[in-house]
């Protein structure tokens, strides 16, 4: 090894993995720029990385067509009992699973280097942060982890002799016979791709995929699946939420954490440029929030990540100019199209399509082609520090105090633009029943209504029924210092199928109403589903909307909501005796209010 490691547990684990996986060499990452360049040099030499002339220090990668997305159907929680994993997770017996995985790992790194990546999720040394160590045989993973986490020797120093860490084992599952040239994107066949999580042991094993969250194990695997289980045990929260700072013209700061399912505008909201005069928005994080109760009794949040791993298609200067400005340099692009002048392109990036590109599979593409130029899940990996509206406190070890929680989804009807929960318990009910109409970014047929509690259905590392109870417990501890809870729907449509609300920068108008509610500046109108804005309290000056459309956007039709009840009852029935009594009471109260 190139670095002397003091931590005995880590040394033992590295030796154990080396004996099992049989790499040709072991390299411990130090997190330096020189190291990043060394790894990228290897990827350039192998033909995996394509340098982009138009973007300094940026590269394009093309994955194997079998390796393009998170593999939820091959992601399993391995707990002692199936009931601990709950009805929303795939489960497998840990003893049986470990034997299967060990057979796959045996000799899987022959012909490759084994990289040891010590990383911190969150600012190094923050009381809210956690340390992980990923072992991988992929230099592509090393480069992405450099951007997405805080990698390096400082993390090893923090571990010292006996510090604790979360072990994350990854292999592309493609040993390289001596003398054989490597392929552009090494991975195992789909039937040999596995992601296995052991939340009771704080352990992550991944095999066969080199893509995204399947391989960057600090992301969804650690930051949500394992962290949510740890958070429940230790009394904090790990949530699938953006974090933003919203600043009034007078300079007052509000901190907002929002949970939306896929394709509901999370990144766009996190980097919003408000249309409201004098208001400013600063991004703290676009995907994940870790939150602990501080000495002041309030909930303080950090973004555990160091970068953005965003979906490229649909991102443009009209939808998210701040994201586009973030992508000017030092970016890893995966499965985007390559333009003739040495830049990347994807659907929705520009109004005019290029006359010719090389598509994500390496083939010629023109506007006449019957296939997409970029893969629908094409990604960018970019340092958060490059975002023009990154908050000055985004790396504050103490985090920022959360004033407001927002839940939401994509709903063409029934759900109004915004409403506020009556209480914390009612807010938990809103989060527990959150639903969205599926898009191509979700699982299942397009247009179906899918319940996604707290936007955590694919990511909760334990029984979701216990997650509901954890939210109630946190509310009890926070008392009157708990964040206020709201629900939004940017996607309500008119009878002729057009979106009623302009969205994007005008969403700031909705956030301002929430802040006014927190400050007690405006009253609200009670409805069966929650508190609605009173007429005139949403600042609509400059919004091109008719009074009729606004009325439709805010309408609450009890008949439509009564039609939701069987779906909610069916959803709750999944959790059996794990469903908290307080949620049952909320449902009963909701039915009573509808009449």
Q: Could you tell me if 538 and 506 are in contact, meaning their C-beta atoms sit under 8 angstroms apart?
A: no
Token pair listed for 138: 């992929």
| Chain position carrying tokens 């676009």 | 286
Strands 59-61 and 50-51: antiparallel
| Chain position carrying tokens 């400059």 | 542
Contacts 24+ apart (CB under 8 A), 478-483: 478/293, 478/297, 478/298, 478/299, 478/424, 479/297, 481/296, 481/297, 481/298, 481/299, 482/299, 482/424, 483/257, 483/299, 483/402, 483/403, 483/404, 483/405
Over 64-115, what HEC string results?
CCCCCCCCHHHEEECCCCHHHHCCCCCECCHHHHHHHHHHHHCCCCCCCEEE
| Chain position carrying tokens 């029934």 | 414
Spell 530-551 as b/e; 16+ CB within 10 A means b: bbbbeeebbbeeeeeeeeebbe
> Please, which residues bridge with residue 198 across strands?
203
Catalytic residue among 21, 264, 387, 460: 264
Q: Could you tell me if 402 and 475 are in contact, meaning their C-beta atoms sit under 8 angstroms apart?
A: no
- CA-closest candidate to residue 270, choices 292, 291, 288: 288
- CA-closest candidate to residue 304, choices 116, 127, 165, 75: 127
What are the angstrom distances between the C-alpha of 580 and each of 127, 357, 416?
Answer: 30, 54, 27
Establish whether 221 is a catalytic residue. Answer: no
> Please, which residues bridge with residue 60 across strands?
50, 333
Q: How far is CA 502 from the centre of its chain?
A: 25
82 vs 537: CA distance, rounded Å: 49
- CA-closest candidate to residue 141, choices 102, 121, 170, 177: 170
Token pair listed for 377: 């899940």
Spell 329-359 as b/e; 16+ CB within 10 A means b: ebbbbbbbbbbeeebbbbbebeeeebeebbb
- Active site positions, annotated: 264
């Amino acid at each position: 090894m190139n670095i002397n490691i003091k931590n005995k547990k880590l040394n033992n684990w590295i030796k154990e993995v080396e004996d099992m996986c049989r790499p040709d060499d072991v390299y411990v990452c130090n997190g330096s720029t020189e190291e990043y360049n060394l790894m990228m040099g290897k990827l350039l030499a192998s033909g995996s990385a394509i340098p982009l002339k138009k973007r300094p220090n940026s590269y394009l990668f093309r994955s194997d067509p079998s390796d393009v997305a998170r593999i939820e159907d091959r992601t399993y929680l391995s707990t002692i009992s199936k009931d601990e994993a709950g009805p929303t997770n795939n489960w497998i017996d840990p003893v049986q699973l470990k034997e299967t995985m060990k057979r796959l790992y045996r000799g899987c790194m022959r012909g490759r280097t084994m990289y040891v990546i010590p990383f911190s999720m969150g600012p190094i040394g923050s009381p809210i942060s956690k340390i992980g160590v990923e072992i991988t045989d992929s230099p592509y993973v090393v480069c992405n982890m450099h951007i997405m986490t805080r990698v390096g020797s400082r993390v090893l120093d923090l571990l010292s002799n006996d510090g604790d860490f979360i072990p994350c084992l990854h292999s592309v599952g493609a040993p390289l016979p001596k003398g054989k040239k490597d392929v552009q994107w090494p991975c195992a066949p789909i039937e040999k791709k596995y992601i296995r999580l052991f939340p009771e042991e704080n352990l992550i094993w991944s095999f066969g995929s080199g893509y995204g969250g399947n391989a960057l194990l600090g992301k969804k695997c650690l930051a949500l699946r394992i962290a949510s289980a740890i958070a429940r045990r230790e009394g904090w929260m790990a949530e699938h939420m953006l974090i933003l700072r919203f600043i009034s013209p007078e300079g007052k700061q509000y901190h907002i954490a929002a949970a939306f399912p896929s394709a509901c505008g999370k990144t766009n909201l996190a980097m919003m440029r408000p249309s409201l005069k004098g208001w400013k928005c600063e991004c703290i994080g676009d995907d994940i929030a870790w939150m602990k109760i501080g000495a002041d009794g309030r909930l303080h949040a950090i973004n555990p990540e160091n970068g953005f791993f965003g979906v490229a298609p649909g991102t443009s200067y009209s939808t998210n100019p701040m994201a586009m400005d973030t992508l000017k340099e030092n970016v890893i692009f995966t499965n985007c199209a390559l333009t003739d002048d040495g830049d990347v392109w994807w659907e929705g990036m520009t109004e005019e399509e290029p006359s010719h590109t090389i598509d994500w599979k390496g083939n010629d593409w023109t506007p006449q082609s019957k296939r997409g130029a970029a893969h629908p899940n094409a990604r960018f990996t970019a340092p958060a520090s490059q975002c023009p509206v990154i908050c000055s406190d985004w790396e504050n070890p103490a985090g920022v105090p959360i004033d407001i929680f927002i839940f939401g989804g994509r709903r063409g009807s029934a759900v109004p633009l915004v409403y506020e929960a009556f209480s914390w318990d009612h807010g938990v009910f809103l989060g527990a029943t959150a639903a969205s109409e599926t898009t191509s970014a979700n699982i299942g047929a397009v247009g179906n209504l899918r319940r996604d509690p707290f936007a955590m259905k694919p990511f909760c590392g334990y029984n979701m029924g216990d997650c509901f109870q954890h939210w109630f417990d946190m509310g009890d501890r926070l008392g009157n210092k708990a964040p206020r809870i709201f629900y939004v729907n940017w996607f309500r449509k008119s009878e002729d199928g057009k979106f009623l609300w302009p969205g994007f920068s005008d969403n700031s108008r909705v956030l301002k109403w929430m802040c006014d509610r927190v400050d007690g500046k405006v009253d609200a109108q009670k409805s069966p589903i929650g508190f609605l804005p009173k007429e005139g309290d949403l600042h609509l000056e400059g919004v091109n909307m008719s009074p009729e459309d606004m009325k439709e956007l805010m309408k609450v039709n009890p008949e439509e909501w009564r039609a939701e009840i069987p779906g909610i009852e069916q959803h709750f029935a999944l959790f059996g005796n794990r469903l908290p009594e307080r949620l049952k009471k909320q449902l009963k109260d909701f039915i009573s209010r509808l009449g």
